Amino acid sequence: MKIYGISNCNSVKKARTWLEENGIVYEFHDFKKLGINENTIKEWLTQKPWDKLINRAGMTWRNLSDAEKAIITDDESATQLMMAKTSVIKRPVLVQNNILLALGFDEATYQQLFKH
C-alpha cells in the first residue's frame, strides 16, 4: 500500500491518520521531496482520466496562467504538468499493487475499501 501526497496537505494528513488509526500499513511518497516519475503517472492514467488526476480546485492550478491551462488537453500535456508541478495532482493518491484505489480522502470510501 502506498499513499502519494504532500506531508502538509490536510487531506493527506486525514488519510494518513485514518490509515494509522485502522492499523493499515502503508508507505508514504512525498511529492515535494521525491517528485513523481513519468511511468507512475502513465500507469495512473490507464485507470483515471487526466482531468480527475489534476486538482483544478487547488491553488497550483488556479495560479497557472490561462495560456498554461489551455495547453493541458491530453494525457501527454497533463503528464508533463504533473511532473513539473506535483502539487497540481489531486491528493492523496492511494495505490496498492499498481491499482489506483482512491483519489482524495473520503472516510466512507476508505471504510468501503478496507471493510471497516
Give the residue numbers marked as catalytic: 9
- CA-derived radius of gyration, the chain: 14
Distance CA 50, CA 44 (A): 9
Q: Grid coordinates in use for 45?
A: 492514467
Question: How far, in Å, CA of 1 to CA of 101, rounded?
Answer: 10
Of 59, 58, 56, which is closest to residue 69 (Cα–Cα)? 56
